[in-house]
Chains A and B, each alone.
Chain A
């Protein structure tokens, strides 16, 4: 059974960098089509942050591109998100997700709430 689990600080100070990791179990991360990060501000809808393909190529939401880096560590079967210069507007539940065949997100982590506050 494929499982994804986000981890990282739940509180980040304004102007600092948000860092999250998604551990994948039950599936080899190098075999998947792509892996992505999606966030959901409190009471709002889903916003795609970016994705990393099995080839290593990355694609980011144009509105966040200047602040986002997604990377993969195949040795640990995990991928990571870094979002720099955060503000209160970046407060959200952050989900990692995997698309193992095609463009749909087949599997999702449970999500982790990250609050940006001093």
Chain B
């Protein structure tokens, strides 16, 4: 059971817009910690896609965008392309008795129909 909750799967047709949610709580996203998103193509290592809630690293298309509100964050992908089919993970921090620990969402598999 992940601390951050993501839908197991989402799908969309080429050209469409999809969103992936990442729901946390007052001890992580709601505490003000940044949310980052990673894209994992099949058989490869995760790649940083969005950082600091809504910033794109150099080279990431502006079709990808992120937002955060309250205890949740979202990743939006517009103009869906076949190459976007991958697993997507959100990441943040959580304040626990052990200090600030890194937490990941359970991951969402995006299928391009």
Contact = CB atoms under 8 A, between A and B. Distances in A.
Given A45-B107, A48-B102, A59-B98, A104 B51 contact: yes
Contacts of B51: 102, 104
Contacts of B99: 59
A65 B104 contact: no
Contact of A105 (B48, B52, B93): B48
Interface residues of A, number: 22
Contacts of B101: 48, 59-62
Nearest to B105: A45
B98 A62 contact: yes
The secondary-structure label for the interface of chain A is loop
Q: Which of B44, B51, B96 has the most CB of A within 10 A?
A: B51
Nearest to A101: B51
A46 B107 contact: yes
Interface stretch (A8-16, A71-79, A107-115): A107-115
A45 B48 contact: no
A103 interface: yes
Q: Which of B34, B36, B52, B106 has the most CB of A within 10 A?
A: B36
Nearest to A105: B48
B93 to A, nearest CB: 6
Given A46-B104, A48-B104, A105 B91 contact: yes
A62 B97 CA distance: 9
**Pairs A-B, 6 closest by C-beta atoms:** A45-B107, A48-B102, A104-B51, A108-B45, A104-B36, A46-B104
Interface of B: 2, 33-34, 36, 38, 44-48, 51-52, 57, 87, 89, 91, 93, 96-107
18 contacts: A45-B106, A45-B107, A46-B46, A46-B91, A48-B102, A48-B104, A59-B99, A60-B98, A60-B101, A61-B101, A62-B101, A95-B45, A104-B36, A105-B38, A105-B46, A105-B48, A106-B48, A106-B57
